[in-house]
Amino acid sequence: MARPETIVIVGGGIAGMTAAAALAGQGFQVTLLESAREFGEIGAGVTLSPNAMKGLDFIGVCEKAASAGVEPSRQRIQHWQDGRTLVAKDRSDQRDKYGAPYVTIHRADLHDVLVGAAHDAGVDLRTKSGVVSSEGSTVTLVDGSTVTGDLIVGADGVKSVIRERFETTPPHFTGHVAWRCLVPVTPEIQDLSDFPGLIIGPGAMITRYNIRDSQAMNFVFFARQDGWNEEGWTTPVDPDEVRSIYADWCDDAQKMVAAACEQPMYKWAINARTALPNWIIDNNVTLIGDAAHAMTPFLGHGAACGIEDGVVLARALGASKTIAEGLRRYQSARHERATFIQAESNANADRMQGQNTDFFGLEGMKDEESLGLFTYDCRTVPV
């Protein structure tokens, strides 16, 4: 493909920033449009499995992200009633086993690394540039101005404006609500920091992992719940709501609840998208990340899929003579995997929050590692 083609990315989250850096590295002229007043990331923690870290290696920031996060040596899954270990995982061998680390990191710290990569690659990064509509390969901003490129990439999340060109169906509530908070590691919860992981039970689960040099932990409480279904990251929580849901859970769960209730806590309804049969319109519009395949968090692969999308899109376009050819290559390389992960993430919620916790793992584990997701390498997968 002759250079320079101009590519407009709508959305400056994890997928959009990764794609911007990767595409610029392939020689494209890239403009990234972000609606927020400044670049940053809300939320708390995120897990980056080895396949995600290989994507960050492609844009030159794998070790920078690893240094900003934590590489856990072990994890476990515990029973909700007595806290006994159902499954233990050794994470100390991830670099040797998969060729990249397994990292837990604050989303804001990861985002800072990605913004730096995009800036260093020469991406035109624009804030206060919310997109309200698009037609052809032109997007219209909230102030009425327009930006045109040879390709529009929708990376604008679960409520994507660009996805509206593919379907008008809104995101759907998955039946899961989450409560999150960041908790400083104190002597009272040091043992939980030393052995991070999950506590699972009927219709609910709790996850914990370290961030920021293991000085803090990311706690997320999940439960199936009808009624309230507001999507977002910043709705304040009445601590009694969390206390009541997990009142009968084990001592480790009670320590987590007590520590969480001393911190600002936020809740959100987990919304997702159904799988699209096609990610290409008119050979000049495509989707990546949550805009393409927003999924539940029960495989910890939402961010990983967005990173993979951005790298494979860049490689596919870089290897093609036309944008149309590159988009076909991208979709062929990514669609089946992303759709599979969407489906398995939903299934994993049922496995981990089933009614018979005593039998969890006895018939063979099905999780992100056993499903083979860690072996994927977006740097080399055929495009």
Rounded to an integer, what distance in angstroms lies between the CA atom of residue 90 and that of residue 73?
Answer: 6
State which residues of the chain have pLDDT below 50: none
What pLDDT, in 10s, does the model give residues 149-162?
999 999 999 999 99
Interhelix angle for 14-25 vs 50-58, to 10°? 40
Rounded to the nearest 10°, the torsion over CA 323, 329, 315, 308 is 120
pLDDT at position 229 = 65
pTM (global) more than 0.75: yes
Residues in the chain: 383
Q: Which stretches of the chain are assigned E, i.e. beta strand?
A: 6-10, 29-33, 45-48, 74-79, 85-90, 103-106, 124-126, 131-135, 138-141, 146-148, 151-154, 172-184, 197-201, 204-211, 216-224, 235-236, 266-272, 280-281, 285-287
Query: Which residues touch 88 (CB under 8 Å, ≥6 apart)?
Result: 74, 75, 76, 77
pLDDT at position 39 = 77
CATH placement of domain 6-71+101-170+273-350+365-375: 3.50.50.60
Residue whose token pair is 């036309």: 322
Which one, of 25, 10, 98, lies nearest residue 61 by Cα?
25
pLDDT at position 86 = 93
Phi, psi of 134 (to 5 degrees): -150, 150
Residue whose token pair is 């995120």: 46
What pLDDT, in 10s, does the model give residues 121-132?
999 999 999 999
